[in-house]
Amino acid sequence: MNDNAGRFKHTAGPDEMRKLLEKLEIDIEVIGTKSEQHMIQTIKELVGKGVKRVAVAGGDGTVTTAIQVLAKTDTALGIVPQGTANNFATALRLPQDLPSALRVLQDGEIRQVDLGHACGRYFAESAGVGLFANALAVYGAKANKNLFRALHALFKIITNLKASRLHLTIDGEKVVEPAVFCVAANTYRIAHGLPVAPGASMTDDQLDLLVLGNVQRNELWPYYLAIRQQMHLTLDKAEIRQAKEIKIESRIKLPVHVDDKVRGSTPVTIRSEPKALKVIVEKL
Q: What is the pLDDT of residue 8?
A: 45
Tell me the one-letter amino acid at 239.
E
pLDDT of residue 143: 47
14-107 maps to which CATH number?
3.40.50.10330
Tell me the pTM. 0.91
| Number of Cα atoms under 13 Å in the Cβ half of residue 2 | 23
Residue 245, Cβ neighbours under 10 Å: how many?
16
**What are the start and end residues of each CATH 2.60.200.40 domain in the chain?**
122-274
What is the rounded distance in angstroms from the CA atom of residue 38 to the CA atom of residue 44? 10
Which pLDDT belongs to residue 13? 84
Task: Specify the DSSP class assigned to residue 233.
Answer: G
Asked if residues 24 and 99 have their Cβ atoms less than 8 Å apart, the reply is: yes
What is the rounded CA–CA span in Å between residue 44 and residue 39?
A: 9
Pairing of strands 255-258, 261-265: antiparallel
Residues facing residue 182 across a β-bridge: 129, 211
Give me the pLDDT at residue 129, please. 98
- Count of C-beta atoms within a 10 Å radius of residue 40: 15
Q: What is the pLDDT along the chain (284 residues), one digit of tens a residue?
A: 987 654 445 677 888 999 999 999 999 999 999 999 999 999 999 999 999 999 999 999 999 999 999 999 999 999 999 988 999 999 999 999 999 999 999 999 999 999 999 999 999 999 999 999 999 998 766 545 565 666 777 777 788 889 999 999 999 999 999 999 999 999 999 998 999 999 999 999 999 999 999 999 999 999 999 999 999 999 999 999 999 999 999 999 999 999 999 999 999 999 999 999 999 999 97
Element (H, E) at 98: helix 98-107
In one letter, which amino acid is 54? V
CATH code of domain 122-274:
2.60.200.40
CATH 3.40.50.10330 intervals, the chain? 14-107
